[in-house]
Amino acid sequence: QLQLQESGPGLVKPSETLALTCSVSGDSVSSYSYSWGWVRQSPGKGLEWIANIYYNGRTYSDPSLRSRVTISVDKSKNHFSLNLRSVTAADTAVYYCASGSSRVNDGFDFWGRGTTVTVSS
């Protein structure tokens, strides 16, 4: 069974870069059987998709965040990462890493527990 665990700073200053990592256990991030992604939920708001990365290295991100987002995979550490540049208070949220199996295809059937990130000076 695939398991995901987010890690990263709980507090980030405005204009800095938010860097989060998702550790994967139960399978390899190199597996073609999964997509890997990030989703967030700001206080009082709904779920917001951020970005995905696939086994072939292709990445996709929400158009509203695309200019600030980088998603990447580190095969040696079996994890994938999110960098969000130039953060503001609007980026305060619970950030979830997630994975979609080939069975599910274009959704996420595995989720991390989430990590809370606050943007504040």
**Interaction site with another protein (CB under 8 A):** 37, 39, 41, 46-49, 52, 60-64, 96, 98, 103-109, 111-114
Structure tokens at 88: 């503001």
What are the distances in angstroms from CA 95 to CA 25, 31, 69? 19, 23, 14
Least CB distance from residue 100 to another protein, whole Å? 9
Nearer to another protein, 16 or 54 (CB): 54
Least CB distance from residue 4 to another protein, whole Å? 9
Please provide residue 63's backbone torsions phi and psi, each rounded to the nearest 5 degrees.
Answer: -55, -35
Decide if 20 contacts 11 (C-beta within 8 A).
no
Nearer to another protein, 44 or 120 (CB): 44
Least CB distance from residue 68 to another protein, whole Å? 15
Beta bridge pairs of residue 74: 79
> Which one, of 69, 91, 68, 66, lies nearest residue 81 by Cα?
69
Nearer to another protein, 67 or 121 (CB): 67
Least CB distance from residue 16 to another protein, whole Å? 26
